[in-house]
Structure 1
Amino acid sequence: MTNADERTRLLSEIASDLISLTPLETALKVVMNTLDRHLPMRDGVFVIYGAGREPRLTVWHADGHDVRSRSLTVEQSDAIDCALASGEPHFVKKTVALGFKMKGEAIGALWIDRTFQGRAVAGEMALMKHIAKLIAKASQRELCSGGGSEPDEPQAGQIPKNKPRPHTQHDKIDWIVGDSLAIKKVLETTKIVAATNSPVLLRGETGTGKECFARAIHALSIRKSKPFIKLNCAVLSETVLESELFGHEKGAFTGALLQRAGRFELANGGTLLLDEIGDVSPQFQAKLLRVLQEGEFERLGGTKTLKVDVRVICATNKNLEVAVLRGEFRADLYYRINVVPIILPPLRQRDGDISLLAQVFLEQFNKANDRYSEFAPSALDILSKCAFPGNVRELDNCVQRTATLASSNTIGSSDFACQKNQCFSALLWKTDVDGIGNETMHTLNPRDTMSSGLGPYAGTPSSATATMEAPGFTERDRLINAMVKAGWVQAKAARILGKTPRQVGYALRRFGIDVMKE
């Protein structure tokens, strides 16, 4: 890997994994898999030292070779030094080995056995040094947080021997900020659900913090000492998704040079978050259903059946009920993942939380940029009145943008883009009361949500108050929603949509929707 942009992307991916995945052993396993995808490596190991320089944690490459039996000696003279891994000349030429220190104390080493001979080029050595620094910081953070060595992760097919433990006042989920009644209710439900092993479906608009709540469920559960693994299902093709979740055997497809463990194996004994589950293709849904029902699967290209014990949390901003009606989402998979649904409130329903979150985001901005910005009362008032259809993510972006461009350290109301007609995201949520054909986003009416029978996004637009549909909802989706709520009576659906029965009938014919008889 000689391209500077590729090295930067690799470092960014590794840093993200080391920050977000717990415990450290799980993070290092994911990092080893990442290196395997990007580097011409034959074998490798991460070693984290304990007391007396004895290995406290050792993570090997998934597909070991005879080099494992060789002794590995890493010398440290500076914070990070090159070292020799063996006395055999040809072996040394193929090996990159680094030891690293933190505050003058040796805390670990990494070693990569390459597939080719020749000493490492400057770019490769610089890359490995940066990776060593990231691992060193992650190791120190775990030690400082009291996360010593944990019991060995259960092998595939074994059930972890954890004793149930209810949550206590000492359990903290301080990464979720909010004091509103809406968020308190969700947090209380989260604590109750965390004490069980039931599958959870996190539902909510984009940017409501579904990953944060998934982490909270894991942190408050009996599995908290085991891996928390996440995967965004929307960004991967079906083949890559299968490899990421189930792993693959050597030679399973072009480029599969070594055997690789999937996310289900890595999460064994712990929790797996499948984000954007609504975007999984119907063909892959059947494969996913089996592992959710039976807890077993085969690696891509393999024949050996593996069993795992994983708690699965799914997340989506899609209306799965409509997807089931349209045949885009399997009903059996829907019932399998929708055991305990948790609906996350949008930011506009969290009274008082916008100011709290804005202060937190501004503090993070100040720390990252060595600034001392603060909000004027008028600025917080402007923020509190905004609908923020992008929810917490959009609020974070707004704070960062405003703090970056503010004329002084005190952010006033005039510093916001919306006060200068420069807030382009506002184009997404300008109200439009035209029921059918309305592609914009509006305010959510929770009473419509509960009465619709179609989950958290089945709002019912009317001529008086347009309600917001799920992000990505189409004109056809809204029409089906209204028809289902109206019991497939066109006159009732017309009143819900603020249209005439003739207009609804025309829309049904235009979209080829067969009227169901109840």
Structure 2
Amino acid sequence: METLKGRKSLETRELTIVNEVARVLSRSLDFEDAVRDILKTLYSFWNVNLSFVAIFNQDIKALQIVKAFGFSEEEVKRGIFKKGEGITGKVFKSGIPVVLTDLPSNPAFLNKTKVGDRLEGSETFISVPIKVGGDIVGVLSIFKTFSSRESIEGGIETLMILGTLIGMFYRLSERIKEERLEWEEEKKILREELKKTYNIHGIVGQSDVILNLVEVVKKVATTDSTVLITGESGTGKSLIAKAIHFLSPRKDKPFITINCAAIPETLLEAELFGYEKGAFTGAHSSKKGKFELAEGGTVFLDEIGDMPLSLQAKILRVLQDREIERLGGERTVQVNVRVIAATNRDLQALVKEGKFREDLYYRLNVVPIHVPSLRERREDVPMLVEHFLEKYNSKYSKSVKISPDAMEALIEYNWPGNIRELENTVERLVVMNDGVVKSTDLPPHILAYRRRNAFEELANLPDRIQATEKEKIVEALEKTGYVKSRAAKLLGYTLRQLDYRIKKYGIEVKKF
């Protein structure tokens, strides 16, 4: 009974090790740092005092220890193995795990690193391949003293899972390195692109959605139509309104903005339409409103969705009749203005709720323009970052740059505040840093978002591992003519382990 309880506890511990390694990988971006933390995890949770990871180095055509735990620098330097050399080289070549005991007297133990000279003699050496799909990229090896209650077979299974996790992270890190090189090559080109036609009155980007938006702005600017700009907060709706104005025939006339959400209802009407002397307490003289001040130009009604119902009828009158009436006045004033409105709210939903006039909605929605969120145009993030870097480096007399890894994190981030949030982030980075900004210098919420995404990807690893294992079993069975004993040997399983997995995955064993 005690043995059963002990084994159950060990299985729980092995699962804890796998989960802890997954956590390590989810919060790390550097392969060697991640491997170092994994080996520390094996020490902390499994009493593995000596361990190492060797990766095949294409330059020297040999396996080389990249990180080790419990090894001296000299021992690590000796850790270079050719294909087939020693147990490490053989595991890499064959892809089959190897277990050695009685290390001091075992001729198969090469002891090339000389770490064997420090062993007590009770250690077991286990070496497993680090795989990515069908490729073997390295070897994970440990020296461990197993107690009578511990299963070496269970240890091999745990290490095989860790080898797969390390392999997937290695492939991911290699891909990131390649993308960094590509990014460096494209960096100059991207800077030049900022100076081209993709930057129309501050509209920065080269994504399809932005290029289409630019074309719409150019066409609308030549007309006098009323425009309704929609989009999330911080996407640059006011920028689009300005672009339309300054590309239009009205460009030499005033462009006046009024935020309908920022001014109290009692003052908004006076701001928009003006007032006559004595219209209310404190009105000691007459004053023109925004519509009169913008004569011949453009009035931009920002956050139109927050305009009180009481004023919406008067805005409708401006759009229909091009005339206003000052507060306290008895005569109408003709106005020649173009109206551009913007909102981050769903006006159709507000119409259904009775909070926005339907007739005004249709009057405003003559030419609708939707400004995409930054999530919909992630490919523009590098250009925007460079644009804001140039702006704030100039402002603060600095020469701050963004590292490829930090740029990647900025591209991955969700940007709920869109371009406004991105600009504020870049300004903060310029103010707080000198030289090159690393990913670790980014705000905590951006790093947390990246770790969360990475963890979600790792959460799917068990399914991927099982799919890979099933594929390898079928492949081994086919190679050996469905002779299970031979297939088990090829895979490094016992016959019992293979039978268990065949049943688990529902693999059909063909008979000839």
TM-score (norm 2): 0.48
**Structure that is richer in helix per residue:** 2
TM-score (norm 1): 0.48
Give the number of the structure whose alpha-carbon radius of gyration is greater. Answer: 2
